[in-house]
Structure 1
Amino acid sequence: MGRQLVIPAISLKAFEARKEQITKELVEAAEGAGFFTLVDHGISVDEINRQFAISEAFFKLPQEVKAQIPHDLYTNNGWEYKSQIRPSTGQADQKESFWLQRNSQWPSDELVPGFHDATKSFISKCEQISKQVLACLSLALGFPEDHLNNAMDVEAPDNLTQMRMIHYMASENAVGTWRAGNHTDIGCLTLLFQRDGEDGLEVCPGRESHNDFAIGDDFSPLPAHTGPIVVNIGDMLMAWSDDRLKANFHRVRAKEVGKSPDRYSIAYFNTGRRNVVMQGPLKKYPAMTCGDYFLQKTKIQFGHNFNKQSTATT
């Protein structure tokens, strides 16, 4: 492994008064590592721990109960179990996850006490943090300040922004394997919450194009901590920025020695609305809708399931 990649920590404290400085720090990180952490963001450690407790409670339900809200390939919502096969490995990620949107089907509070109120509050806070970052990036790219936020309006009926609760199952025999294989994120901007001691995330810089599938071998670990939010650029925003902002490859690696314990993470994916037309300021790529872009990328990651699901629903 080469030199340690620097993932900067950026404070959102006194956001309006410090917006120019924050924008400078965000753009520098987005043009390089494509990753940064946010601190002073307004979500307390207690709130983060509460959402993780809800996530654990959901994943502890029997599989037949979780399967009552199955993953739908066309909405990308619902529960999936080891169904995401990465092109980089040809193998399924060793995890289960539950994707949800504001208006998708959620588990009832009878199944997971407190799910609705806590999760709605958590999502609302993720929305506010995302709006701050996206406003800064819009200005830096030469767009109006509200350009990206309007394109990701979560109250619009065609919105694609989602939260994903993730559970990597404990394994005695995971040494040298990928709990999540090398990949980039599909959408624009990801907010990732991790917990102390549940390490494994590694980042590889150097991607030049949002269509580039070449993966380097210079990965750096990004240790897990409760509190700071790990943020990374996704493919959609890399294309939207004419490849200026980098959606770099990352993975979740098993421990090199001994048992890999359970790992939980929560990701909030900001994604352009289905009917919004995206194109960079330099028009490096043809204009296309976010919905078409999203479906193309989803089929790459989950495409092996499309025929199975089509057969099951006809």
Structure 2
Amino acid sequence: MTNTTRLTKNQSTETQLTELQREASFGDAGEDADDREVRVIDMSDFENRRAEITEQLWLAATEIGFFQLSNHGISSKDIAAAFAESDRFFNLPEAIKAQYPRPKGVNAGWESRSQIRPSTGTKDEKESYQITQYHMDNLWPNEEELPDFQANSLRFEKQCWEVGMKVLSCFADKLGFDRDFFIKAHDPNQEDYQSTLRLLHYFPTKGVTEQGNIWRAGAHTDFDCLTLLFQNEGHGGLQVCPGVEAETKRWTNIPPLPNVITCNIGDMLMRWSDDRLISNLHRVRLPRVGEYCGSRHSIAFFCQANKKQIIQGPEKHYDPISAADFLNQRIHANFADKETAQKSS
């Protein structure tokens, strides 16, 4: 079977919702655990240090599934510019943003308080704007509304892709794939490319004494292979629950360090690695009384394999599924309208 073989409907539905079962039981607050280290991995001099970096990434990805990258090649100036573009978009009047709504079954366009996590059953307290290159027809603000927004956003998206592919090439080495295996699987020159840049704005709050059942983002795993997350310094709240802590539901805080990329393994890559790499639950809690309670901004880039790619690990622990079917099932389970996912041809 080639890596782009098409599957029957019955084959694809055999895998449906497996990854969601973990989420459904993680809606409560649990407890904080600040005794776990989230490794910061230095990516400088990458080609000469590839073997060393690969081992560091593998250890972090197999133990906790989260790690942070320093000296990754995206300048602080470019990161600040990307946040400025995000601010420009979210500062638009809601009537203008509403002209560019997320289509059903697609990670593109604007949504607000529409994402419902299986873990909570309540809407995330945020709005977001998704950029998936080949799904952006009529979803870009025009040049009068936001001059140069499209060009600037796509420039940053390309930088994120380059960093993501470096990391994934290291995992390919460890899994026994060709080094460029995941690069070819996330080819932006193909029309079934579906990696996504997501601008996120979490709404301000007044601070809470008890978390309750309302979250800025409820507990979830990511759909993709690898997530790159940029956080504003001082905008905390991101937490991860490693697999070893799942029974006690102990949550580790992820510090919002400046100019550092926070990364986590997604469900696609966990499946593709036959569960050797760990996709862990994470969430964004509400600010507590005395903490910063204003708007929280972050930017995520999701390395999502091209639609026609078939996800199956070397040891075939799972039935094969196309990346398109996998992503459609996850989108369907996570948005308020419980839409009928659009299958790609």
Q: TM-score, normalised by structure 1?
A: 0.92
How far the C-alpha of 1:215 sits from its partner, in A, is 7.0
Matched residue, 1:238: 270
How far the C-alpha of 1:102 sits from its partner, in A, is 2.4
Task: Measure the CA separation in 1 of the matches of 2:223 and 2:43.
Answer: 25
Task: Measure the CA separation in 1 of the matches of 2:319 and 2:162.
Answer: 31
> Which of 257, 271, 275 is the matching residue for 1:225?
257
Question: Which 5+ residue runs of structure 1 have no aligned equivalent?
Answer: 209-213
CA shift digits 1:219-261 (9 cap, x unpaired)? 0111112200001000110011001100000000112214621
Q: Is the 8 A contact 2:107 2:132 kept in 1?
A: no
Distance change (3 Å), C-alpha of 1:132 and 1:218:
same
> Which of 280, 283, 299 is the matching residue for 2:313?
280
> Which of 75, 84, 89 is the matching residue for 1:44?
75
Task: Measure the CA separation in 2 of the matches of 1:275 and 1:302.
Answer: 23
> Which of 247, 250, 263 is the matching residue for 2:279?
247
CA shift digits 1:147-171 (9 cap, x unpaired)? 1111111221111100000000101
For residue 40 of structure 2, what is the amino acid of its counterpart?
A: A
How many residues are paired up?
Answer: 304
Task: Measure the CA separation in 2 of the matches of 1:67 and 1:49.
Answer: 26
Matched residue, 2:227: 190
Q: TM-score, normalised by structure 2?
A: 0.84
Matched ranges for 1:9-28 at <5 A:
9-28=40-59
Residue 298 (1) aligns with residue 335 (2): no
Matched ranges for 1:1-314 at <5 A:
1-2=32-33, 4-103=35-134, 104=136, 105-172=139-206, 174-175=208-209, 176=211, 177-206=214-243, 216-258=248-290, 260-302=293-335, 304-306=337-339
For residue 140 of structure 1, what is the amino acid of its counterpart?
A: K
CA shift digits 1:276-312 (9 cap, x unpaired)? 11110111011111111111111111263416x99xx
Matched residue, 1:211: none
Q: Is the 8 A contact 1:10 1:39 kept in 2?
A: yes
For residue 222 of structure 2, what is the amino acid of its counterpart?
A: D
Distance change (3 Å), C-alpha of 1:216 and 1:73:
farther
Task: Measure the CA separation in 2 of the matches of 1:99 and 1:221.
Answer: 26
For residue 59 of structure 1, what is the amino acid of its counterpart?
A: F
Task: Measure the CA separation in 1 of the matches of 2:55 and 2:103.
Answer: 39
Worse-matched range after superposition: 6-15 or 166-175: 166-175
Task: Measure the CA separation in 2 of the matches of 1:221 and 1:73.
Answer: 33
Q: Is the 8 A contact 2:207 2:286 kept in 1?
A: no
Structure with the greater relative contact order (CA < 8 A, sep ≥ 6): 1 or 2? 2
Q: Is the 8 A contact 1:276 1:290 kept in 2?
A: yes
CA shift digits 1:80-125 (9 cap, x unpaired)? 0000001111100000000012242322232123312321221111
Task: Measure the CA separation in 1 of the matches of 2:147 and 2:297.
Answer: 19
Aligned residue for 2:100, secondary structure, equals coil
Q: CA RMSD in A?
A: 1.9
CA shift digits 1:16-64 (9 cap, x unpaired)? 1010001000100110110111111111111111111110111111111
Q: Is the 8 A contact 1:207 1:248 kept in 2?
A: no
Task: Measure the CA separation in 2 of the matches of 1:71 and 1:156.
Answer: 22
Task: Measure the CA separation in 2 of the matches of 1:72 and 1:174.
Answer: 34
Task: Measure the CA separation in 1 of the matches of 2:259 and 2:305.
Answer: 26
Distance change (3 Å), C-alpha of 1:181 and 1:70:
same
How far the C-alpha of 1:73 sits from its partner, in A, is 2.5
